[in-house]
Amino acid sequence: MSDAAARPADGLVVGVLIAIAVSHLLNDLVQSLVVSVYPLLKEEFHLSFSDIGLITMAYAVTASVLQPLIGWHTDRHPQPYALCAGMGLTTVGLVLLATAGGLWSLLAAATLIGMGSSVFHPEASRVARLVSGGRHGLAQSVFQVGGNLGSALGPIAAVVVVMPRGQAAIAWFCLATLLALGLLAWVGRWYAQHQRDAATRVHALPVPPPAGTPVWRTLAVLGLLVFSKYFYLASLTNFYTFYLIGRFGVSVHAAQIHLFVFLFAVAVGTVLGGPVGDRFGRRRVIWASILGVAPFSLLLPFAGLWLTAVLAVIIGLILASAFSAILVYAQSLLPGRVGLVSGLFFGLAFGMAGIGAAVLGALADRLGLEAVYRLCSYLPLLGLLTVLLPDIERRDPRRA
């Protein structure tokens, strides 16, 4: 595929964006697979809910600590083939997960997969912005929806491939990471050529946010909103199957199907959030996507099985639209530091998800999952903090 063929008149480099999105799908398919095989690993190794939370935390905290550092470094020293290195780490972690013999090797596998994600996400987000042609929300949404689709396919892949054959079948998914390596090598060549071309052109200086914008306070508010979103999502992505099995007595197969439906709704919500933010403003999307979930999250712990499934879909659709809007909004606050901002917010998202999994797992062991779901239902109310975000887009005449 040539760059000329991939680049339409508006400057959006479609081919590279699709390659990044598909690579994100394959990367997050592997990540979701780890969560989806928890019931198998729990039975195989006699794990507690606290152990499950620790495995998630090993992956997520590794990613959260390293991503801002890698983004900061690559802002100064771009590495076109860093994406391949990250996917290589994920492949090694996947092999270790397929051959693990106990909790410690499971933790090591999760850590390696987390390291792979720490390289992949900030660099891939940077490439998505480079190829956006100015349509930053759209490009981030396309990139994000690849990951969300991969996350949604993880439970199905676990049911079809892993559950009937056992832990060793996890190794089959190395084929997915090898395909991603091929795509990322092509993206790396495009990125390297882009750098060579950029060195010969005169560039406009990054445009700062409007004068008087409290940048660091605003970033702190965005961080709290990410906390509310991902801490709440941790209760659904990590423990939804156990909740359905324990409360409603559904089979593991049926619970995985419910998880797939929820994660697919998250993917749909993600692809809608970016273009809507480009059109109507990202602050409005943040308002609606986090605080708008609260009525449904508060009802969820008291619903029956089918209403629970419906509410989960609504929650996924609404809540998922927030992250692309938050990320592009934050990148506007610190122009020229795309890698740092992307790494910081992806890292924060992973960290909150991992810490949330560990904390909620410990609470579930002590109080039960139903109590945990009642406690978590109040988290979307933190969306009220959006009132503290300055409306920088309304004052920015460059906004389309």
Domain boundaries of the chain, sorted by first residue: 10-197+214-388
Residues 6+ apart with CB under 8 A from 139: 12, 17, 128, 129, 131, 132, 133, 274
Pairwise CA distance, residues 235 & 315, whole Å: 12
pLDDT surpassing 80 at residue 274: no
The mean pLDDT of 271-296, rounded to a whole number, is 78
Q: Which of 367, 366, 331 is nearest to 346 (CA)?
A: 331
Is residue 80 scored above 70 in pLDDT? yes
**pLDDT score at 4:** 38
Mean pLDDT value of segment 78-82: 80
- pLDDT of 7 over the 50 cut: no
Please, how many CA atoms are within 13 Å of residue 381, restricted to the half-sphere of its CB?
7
- Looking at the predicted structure, is the pLDDT value of residue 324 above 90? no
Percent of the chain predicted with pLDDT > 90: 17
Please give the distance of CA 185 from its chain centroid, rounded to a whole number. 22
Contact call for residues 279 and 260 (beta carbons, < 8 A): no
The pLDDT of 109-122, averaged and rounded, is: 86
What is the percentage of the chain residues whose pLDDT exceeds 70? Answer: 89
Return the pLDDT at 25: 92
Q: What pLDDT does 248 receive?
A: 92
| Res 282 pLDDT > 50 | yes
**Res. 53: pLDDT tops 70:** yes
What mean pLDDT is predicted for residues 11-21? 82
Note if the pTM is more than 0.85.
no
In this model, does residue 398 exceed pLDDT 60?
no
Using alpha carbons, select from 140, 93, 138 the residue that is nearest to residue 121: 140
More confident site: 308 or 139 = 308
Report d(CA 284, CA 276) in Å as an integer.
9
CATH 1.20.1250.20 fits 10-197+214-388, yes or no: yes
Predicted local distance difference test score (pLDDT) of residue 10: 41
